[in-house]
Structure 1
């Protein structure tokens, strides 16, 4: 009888663990954000530090290739793919007017950033192999999700700007901005 009780307790613990891992993290289909795959992300708020130089050009040369290399100015129209390997500030157009994305930290399998658009602010941060964040800016708000991503270009959304940062193992992140 004690064996049955411990088997039931173990089964109950397994079910509770599965429910806790699955949680409420279903796909965010309204904003085109990637579905969560059941793995916990290392998402957290970004620190308030920013690139004070405002130069817009990273100091280290990225080791992965992107459509526009590391040319931050290519993002000013709200459409670009660049490689980022150091803190940088990117200015671009959003549905709420001018927007600023401040990449505050980039490292091996790690990225953190803050986006300011209109009166809104959104933060994203992720760490681990293949981790990253997607932020969707709209005229009256934004959404943000972090987790496992790939470096494929995100889909455009009507009346929105989609920002995707994917951390790389070598300390270079791929930034996509899609209007």
Structure 2
């Protein structure tokens, strides 16, 4: 009986070795030289320290170019064309002195802002493809119009006014144009 048990153990060992070889050949290995990426086996398990660190999200690159790029100081005289990708305050010379354009929201096809001059303020916001706002800031007040801009191009200067056109782009940036008669 000892001989029968020894033969059975040898056969079991041969069978286990064969199964192990088949399992390894069937997909536990990798055909490339790249190491296999392990995924956590349970929701609470953390990836190993060997995983590469995550890169920070890049700042959106504008799909359109602007004459003054991202330089908000170019707007100081009330004439500029810039691209923004995050909330920003832009000081400029308005018809009655210092004014501020505060972009409060920028996102894919979305823009929201407030213009302050003296004791007055005007707000504009638009969302959706091809949407934007135009604000005309005058010495005696301001007016807004938001909606489809189509192929509006650069706004025309108006006497004793600063015209602000803001349009959100699909890439999460917005083009701002300030035009004055100065």
Whether TM exceeds 0.5 here: the answer is: yes
Q: How does 1:20-35 map onto structure 2 within 5 Å?
A: none
Q: How does 1:34-45 map onto structure 2 within 5 Å?
A: none
3-state DSSP of counterpart to 2:74: helix
Matches of 1:165 and 1:110, distance apart in 2: 10
The answer to whether residue 170 in structure 2 is matched with residue 169 in structure 1 is yes
Aligned to 1:21: none
Please tell me whether the aligned partners of residues 62 and 83 of structure 1 are also in contact (alpha carbons under 8 angstroms): no
Q: Give aligned pairs, total.
A: 121
Aligned to 2:124: 124
Please tell me whether the aligned partners of residues 82 and 174 of structure 1 are also in contact (alpha carbons under 8 angstroms): yes
In the TM superposition, residue 132 of structure 1 has moved relative to its aligned partner by 0.4
Please tell me whether the aligned partners of residues 62 and 70 of structure 1 are also in contact (alpha carbons under 8 angstroms): no
Deviations 1:84-113 (A, max 9, x none): 111110000011110001000000000000
Q: State the structure with bigger RCO (CA 8 A, min sep 6), 1 or 2.
A: 1
3-state DSSP of counterpart to 2:156: coil
Deviations 1:8-49 (A, max 9, x none): xxxxxxxxxxxxxxxxxxxxxxxxxxxxxxxxxxxxxxxxxx
Aligned to 2:81: 81
Could you say what the CA RMSD is over the residues aligned between the two structures, in angstroms? 1.3
TM-score, scaled relative to structure 1: 0.65
Matches of 1:175 and 1:62, distance apart in 2: 15
Please tell me whether the aligned partners of residues 75 and 177 of structure 1 are also in contact (alpha carbons under 8 angstroms): yes
Change (3 A) 1:65 1:151: farther
Matches of 1:105 and 1:151, distance apart in 2: 22
Matches of 1:148 and 1:170, distance apart in 2: 18
The answer to whether residue 154 in structure 2 is matched with residue 146 in structure 1 is no
Please tell me whether the aligned partners of residues 136 and 163 of structure 2 are also in contact (alpha carbons under 8 angstroms): yes
Aligned to 2:69: 69
Deviations 1:43-89 (A, max 9, x none): xxxxxxxxxxxxxxxx9354231000010000001000001111110
Q: Which runs of 5+ in 2 are unaligned?
A: 1-57
Aligned to 1:157: 158
Matches of 2:148 and 2:166, distance apart in 1: 11
Matches of 1:128 and 1:141, distance apart in 2: 28
In the TM superposition, residue 151 of structure 1 has moved relative to its aligned partner by 5.9
Aligned to 1:136: 136
Aligned to 1:60: 59
Change (3 A) 1:62 1:90: farther
